[in-house]
Chains A and B, each alone.
Chain A
């Protein structure tokens, strides 16, 4: 096969990877881009989630003080979990339940313990993630088929990257070629598509590989294959849970003390979230990022004695887990504060634009080529000529015709 016709085939493959599903790919890219900054969008839209200090020198309260303040304001609520955002300007998210049976998140000011508001029934962050991640298809038994539908896009995306680089002759020279503005829309979008693609090589590789991992994760999960080194959550033995005379409550370790114990015994353990025991026999979990920012580590503490019953630390993870557990934060850009999110957001936008520009290039060229072919076929009917279609195919598929 000649070099020219081989590159033509690569070009066709490159076009066909996204073209028939361009709108689906576009919406997945756009919702993913929004999901990266969804917390920030909520922060802008909803004052309840902001952590405004009452004065310039205000100090953040300890968790025991926060709980005391919350209980004073709403004596009947029961706290299930507390989590602190990576960014200081976010309020604490506290999972609570009410006597009417609702179990929701409330936003609490970390300086005053004031409950600033309840999470709304429409949760923008969850909605964009659900739309992006599984196309809103419900999880009934195992992973939703929408999850498979979206995560399978990782494969054509990866193939688009590879074929795009194969088709683009001497692409390494193109990093500083600005799009030509004066020569019409088709030329501009062609130049844009190539320039954006070059600068996005790393990003497209990250998104497509991590996206493909989500597909593998679903396949493993639905076949009940686990690669985790984490032991089953231990429970407290029946005889070790204290008894209390009727109406009296048993003594429990305070949250601040539990955090102190955990961070003394496990150096480097950060307490960015706390999950309170879900039963009288369950443990209190404290966790946060370790020295490797892409993964979390946690400790489980007996709430009656304050001893550490189990820990899931970075040092105990297998090499494979370091790879697989890094996949999700790499995909979402949620591992190093606002600036990394902004980089992911920018390249997410660029990727969305690449879907659109790819479509524009194809449709403009195809529209013309189709028109030409139709005209020719009308003529051909009269003249019975068969040479023209080959020409049309050449025009449609040549990279040189951009």
Chain B
């Protein structure tokens, strides 16, 4: 197990000696991995707790009928592939203090929904901080719009849209790149 001992003819060089002495301690360098990821780890903790805000990139307040909603991109990045479900993008939102008791459900969809039943992904969480996972339609283009549907406890329904260029520049860039490949 000791190459210089098995083949004793060349005299051990300095490098060789260093190698023999330290080869089994080189794995200490593996510690650089968690050290390197530590800033990212704490940034993620702050993001998940909401210490650093609703998401990585705030889109702003959106007026939806009588209510307002604060929208954010959970991560400021392109959609991620989620296995067979396809590409997904996470948005986070908070309802205005006044609407908390009036709004029953909040939906998000790329492209205008045809009806309330097809309003898109349901935001989950609490009105202070809720997250929706939006599938990216295969035929979506860079000029698509993000549609928000709010359903009231009284049965009313209100909609508003935000251009994707405003809601998620990272998704637009990704869509443009995907379009170019086709």
A contact residues vs B (CB 8 Å cutoff): 12, 16, 19-24, 27, 76, 78, 80, 97-104, 121-123, 126-127, 130-131, 135-138, 140-141, 146, 224, 238, 241, 243-250, 278-282, 359, 362-363, 369-370, 373-374, 376-378, 380-381, 386, 388-389, 392-393, 396-397
Contact = CB atoms under 8 A, between A and B. Distances in A.
Contacts of A377: 4-5, 8, 11-12
A121 B5 contact: no
A363 B25 CA distance: 11
A146 B8 CA distance: 40
B152 A12 contact: no
B129 interface: yes
A22 B24 contact: yes
16 contacts: A12-B1, A22-B27, A99-B128, A101-B128, A103-B128, A104-B49, A135-B34, A135-B37, A136-B40, A141-B81, A243-B155, A279-B122, A359-B24, A376-B8, A380-B9, A389-B7
Given A23-B31, A244-B153, A377-B4, A78 B46 contact: no
Contact of B20 (A19, A123, A370): A370
B101 to A, nearest CB: 6
Contacts of A137: 33-34, 37
Interface residues of B, number: 60
A100 B30 CA distance: 39
A34 to B, nearest CB: 14
Contact of B53 (A76, A101, A246, A370): A101
The 7 closest A-B pairs by CB, nearest first: A377-B8, A373-B5, A102-B50, A97-B128, A136-B34, A278-B124, A78-B126
B73 to A, nearest CB: 14
Interface in B92-126: 94, 97, 101-102, 104-105, 117, 122-126
Given A102-B50, A146-B34, A392-B5, 9 more contacts: A98-B128, A135-B33, A136-B40, A238-B117, A281-B122, A374-B5, A389-B5, A389-B8, A396-B1
Interface in B141-158: 152-155
Interface in B24-53: 24-25, 27-28, 30-31, 33-34, 37-38, 40-42, 44-46, 48-51, 53
B6 A246 contact: no
Contact of B41 (A136, A282, A362): A136
A279 B128 CA distance: 13
Nearest to B44: A138
Contacts of B51: 102, 121
Contact of A374 (B1, B6, B12): B12
A214 to B, nearest CB: 18
Of residues B23, B37, B94, B126, which shows the largest number of chain A Cβ atoms within 10 Å of its Cβ?
B126
A140 B75 CA distance: 11
Contacts, number: 166
A241 B104 contact: yes
Nearest to A130: B41
Given A103-B125, A282-B124, A121 B46 contact: yes
A129 to B, nearest CB: 12
A122 B42 CA distance: 8
A137 B35 CA distance: 10
A246 B154 contact: yes
Contact of B2 (A100, A136, A238, A370): A370
B154 to A, nearest CB: 5
A401 B98 CA distance: 79
B38 A136 contact: yes
A97 B129 contact: yes
Nearest to B75: A140
A281 B11 CA distance: 77
Contacts of B84: 224
B50 A393 contact: no
B9 A381 contact: yes
Nearest to A278: B124
B24 A278 contact: no
A233 to B, nearest CB: 11
Nearest to A245: B154
Given A98-B128, A136-B33, A363-B24, A393 B5 contact: yes
Contacts of A378: 11
Contact of A381 (B8, B31, B46, B155): B8
A276 to B, nearest CB: 9
B59 to A, nearest CB: 14
A117 to B, nearest CB: 14
Nearest to A221: B83
Nearest to A131: B34
A250 B81 CA distance: 39
Contacts of A386: 8
